[in-house]
A and B are shown apart, each in its own frame.
Chain A
Amino acid sequence: GAVVSQHPSRVICKSGTSVKIECRSLDFQATTMFWYRQFPKQSLMLMATSNEGSKATYEQGVEKDKFLINHASLTLSTLTVTSAHPEDSSFYICSAINRDSYGYTFGSGTRLTVV
């Protein structure tokens, strides 16, 4: 079945630094990638939608200059959290849409801790 590989699974970084999270679709072409953030005991909140080769569309309240999304190819999308602060600590998870079939494939998630 369709697989999305997400790395890293866990990362601890110092406040003020940047962290890059990668999502790769391993066996299909992902035309669209969604990036979600999930705080403890809360739901998945959509941050942005990225389409291959175009700028990401951010949800209201999400700072596009802080959360940089790049979807340079049909198999790779990245989320960079710039100038991270402790309040950015969360579980970040991507979800890809397979161009050839309907369905959402989730990455395994990244637990970001900013200290």
Chain B
Amino acid sequence: GENVEQHPSTLSVQEGDSAVIKCTYSDSASNYFPWYKQELGKRPQLIIDIRSNVGEKKDQRIAVTLNKTAKHFSLHITETQPEDSAVYFCAASKGSNYKLTFGKGTLLTVNP
């Protein structure tokens, strides 16, 4: 089955700096890659996603890049703010109606 590796497990940055979280996946059939932000005790919230026919997607301070050949994708957060502090999960699936496989998560701390 699919295996998603995520790094780093913890990331601490100063407010205003950029943060990058990287994930790799094993199944070349995967074609949908969402990123979720989860606060303690809450449901995961989709922050951005990318499909395999696109190499990069941006939404304000958040961007995701995908390298299908290398089977890795990354989340980039610019101008970080304290409210960005949370656990971030990457995930992969083979498409519509298929299960998501999650990475182990990254605890991001943005220091004021």
A-to-B contact residues, CB < 8 Å: 31-32, 34, 42-46, 49, 91, 93, 95, 97, 102-104, 106-109, 111
A46-B99, A49-B99 known; A106 and B105 CB under 8 Å? no
Q: A91-B41, A97-B97 are in contact. Are A104 and B103 (CB under 8 A)?
A: no
Instruction: Please give the number of chain B residues whose Cβ is less than 8 angstroms from any Cβ of chain A in the complex.
Output: 16
Task: Give residues in B with beta carbon < 8 Å to A.
Answer: 34, 41-44, 46, 89, 96-97, 99-105
Minimum distance in angstroms from A37 CB to a CB of chain B = 12
Give the docked Cα–Cα distance between A42 and B102 (Å). 10
Chain B's nearest CB lies how many Å from the CB of A26? 14
| Cβ contact within 8 Å between A46 and B97 | no
Query: What are 12 A-B contacts with C-beta separation under 8 Å?
Result: A34-B99, A34-B100, A43-B89, A43-B102, A43-B103, A44-B44, A44-B102, A49-B99, A103-B46, A109-B41, A109-B43, A111-B41
Residue of B nearest to A49 (CB): B99
> Inside 8 A of A34's CB, which chain B residues have their CB?
99-100
Q: B37 CB to closest chain A CB, in angstroms?
A: 12
Asked if A43 and B100 make an inter-chain contact with CB atoms under 8 angstroms apart, the answer reads no
Measured between beta carbons, the chain A residues less than 8 angstroms from B34 are 104
Q: How far is the CA of A39 from the CA of B103 in the complex (A)?
A: 14
